[in-house]
Amino acid sequence: MYAPSSTESIPSGPFDFCAPVECSKNSPGNTAVRSTAREVKSTARILIPARNEAATIGRIVRECRRAGFSVTVIDDASSDATALLAAQAGAEVLALPGPHHGKTAALHHAMAGLPESIDWLFFLDGDGQHHPADLERFWRLRHDADLIVGNRFPDSARMPLLRRWTNRAMSTLLRRSGILDSQCGFRLVRRAWLGSWLPAGHHFQFETEMALLAAARSTCVRNLPIPATYAREESKIVPWRDALNFARCLLRHGVPHALPALRVGRVSGVPANS
């Protein structure tokens, strides 16, 4: 069972091993490696949609910045200090005026304005569910996939029961995408794979829309085990509304019987198409 406040016990997969380098911490070679790593990471952007997340957003942004990535927080008409705290922590803030737009609409606004120099997109939630310490684990797998998605089901005992059942049901309906935990918001996406695609919904359809995109295209999907972390704060999910939006999303996109073959990958021995 995974510790909720740490990712150290999470299996990190077969790609996490490298030969040790015998050099001093401040040697020119090490400086060059760090400089190159920073340059490569400059091609990635972390997008964090947030609404009234003042309690957590500052810490999350600081940890993402320490990992070497640029961060954009999309402030969805918050009534607290979310935007200010995100900016103080080092994020670029895209402030959306009221009324409340919803997670998917907020991400649409951010993705539509991205510079061409961005090749990779991270997606994280702003409520503390996702650990920035896991960013490097996603990043190391980027050459082997178009879409890398967190998988909380190995740690599903920590999920609230209703969410566990709901997530499993949705993921089963979307299993042709190759994504094990289809509703997990922690993911890394190759921008070239996305192409001109932008999400079309408003609230929590974003993950479903991307799963349908993965099912409709030739897609290399990898599923990376992550902790299931749930705080005591009240969820922003509205069950009846979001269940209806999920059904509408399926009907709008269609659920074809025959889909392109998926090149599905493995992480930590977890088959991505099971």
Closest by alpha carbon to 207, among 222, 187, 224? 187
- What would be the CATH architecture of the domain defined by 33-267? Alpha-Beta Complex (3.90)
**For residue 2, how far is the Cα from the chain centroid?**
19
pLDDT of residue 37: 76
Provide φ and ψ at 19, rounded to 5°. -70, 140
Contact 120, 190 (CB under 8 A): yes
DSSP secondary structure string for all residues of 156-199: GGGS-HHHHHHHHHHHHHTGGG--SSTT---EEEEHHHHTT---
Contact 239, 152 (CB under 8 A): no
Three-class DSSP category at 136: helix
Give yes or no for a cis peptide into 99 (omega within 30° of 0).
yes
Q: Which residues, including other chains, have CB under 8 Å from residue 195's CB and lie 6 or more apart?
A: none
Q: How many CB atoms lie within 10 A of CB 114?
A: 13
Q: How many CB atoms lie within 10 A of CB 256?
A: 11
Contact 158, 230 (CB under 8 A): yes
- Going residue by residue through the chain, which has 274 residues, state the pLDDT in tens, using 9 for 90 and above: 434 333 333 343 322 222 333 333 444 444 455 567 777 999 999 999 999 999 999 999 999 999 999 999 999 999 999 999 999 999 999 999 878 888 999 999 999 999 999 999 999 999 999 999 999 999 999 998 999 999 999 988 888 787 788 888 888 888 889 999 999 999 999 999 999 999 887 666 899 999 999 988 999 999 999 998 876 555 555 554 555 666 666 666 555 433 344 444 444 434 444 3
Extents of the domains making up the chain: 33-267
Residue 22 sits at the vertex; the CA angle it makes with 18 and 26, to the nearest 5 degrees, is: 110
Tokens of 45: 């952007």
Rounded to whole angstroms, how far apart are CA atoms 72 and 92? 5
Rounded to whole angstroms, how far apart are CA atoms 134 and 12? 9
Three-class DSSP category at 212: helix
Closest by alpha carbon to 184, among 110, 99, 122, 256? 122
